[in-house]
Amino acid sequence: MALETTLSIIKPDAVAKKVSGRILSRLEEQFNVVAMKKLHLTREQAQAFYAVHKERPFYPALIDFMTSGPVVVLALEGEDAIKRYRELMGATDSTKAAAGTIRKDFGTDMQKNAVHGSDSVENGIRETRFFFAP
Ligand code: ADP
Ligand code: MG
């Protein structure tokens, strides 16, 4: 195991439902929150952040969703943080996420799934740098 950094985004659906504080509590229990800010993503920021998905059919709707309201962005640090945070989030489809996960408890469906999490050590570093100075 190694000390890793992963990027979390509390998405517009969760912020609008006023559960960002409850999600933050779960994150704080398991990780060191090294940076955090609330912002409203521009279309340019959302398009750049999700550029890896730009050929996917869900991409235009994802950009609309991610720019529909404010988000909370957090850099989380901890041992094995990438995998442990993916487990805490749950499956992409909130309706199929395991009991007790953030997506099961606060998400709605495949798109409105409450939180983002990095999927690899490299992307954890890249995505954290996208939002935060070193
Ligand atoms: P994850 O967020 O679990 O890493 P992906 O990286 O595959 O999932 O997708 C990024 C985001 O795009 C998802 O969290 C979700 O909001 C949205 N998304 C993914 N697949 C779909 C889909 N089939 N329909 C609608 N939205 C989707
Ligand atoms: Mg992903």
pTM over 0.75? The answer is yes
Ligand 1 near 77 CB (within 6 A)? no
Ligand 1 near 58 CB (within 6 A)? yes
Q: Which atom of ligand 1 is the closest one to the Cα of 113? A: 16
Q: pLDDT digits over 19-66, tens only?
A: 999 999 999 999 999 999 999 999 999 999 999 999 999 999 999 999
Identify the pLDDT of residue 1.
78
Identify the pLDDT of residue 71.
99
Identify the pLDDT of residue 70.
98
Residues 122-128: contacts with CB within 8 Å, 24+ apart? Answer: 123/7, 124/4, 124/5, 124/6, 124/7, 124/81, 124/82, 125/5, 127/7, 127/49, 128/5, 128/6, 128/7, 128/35, 128/75
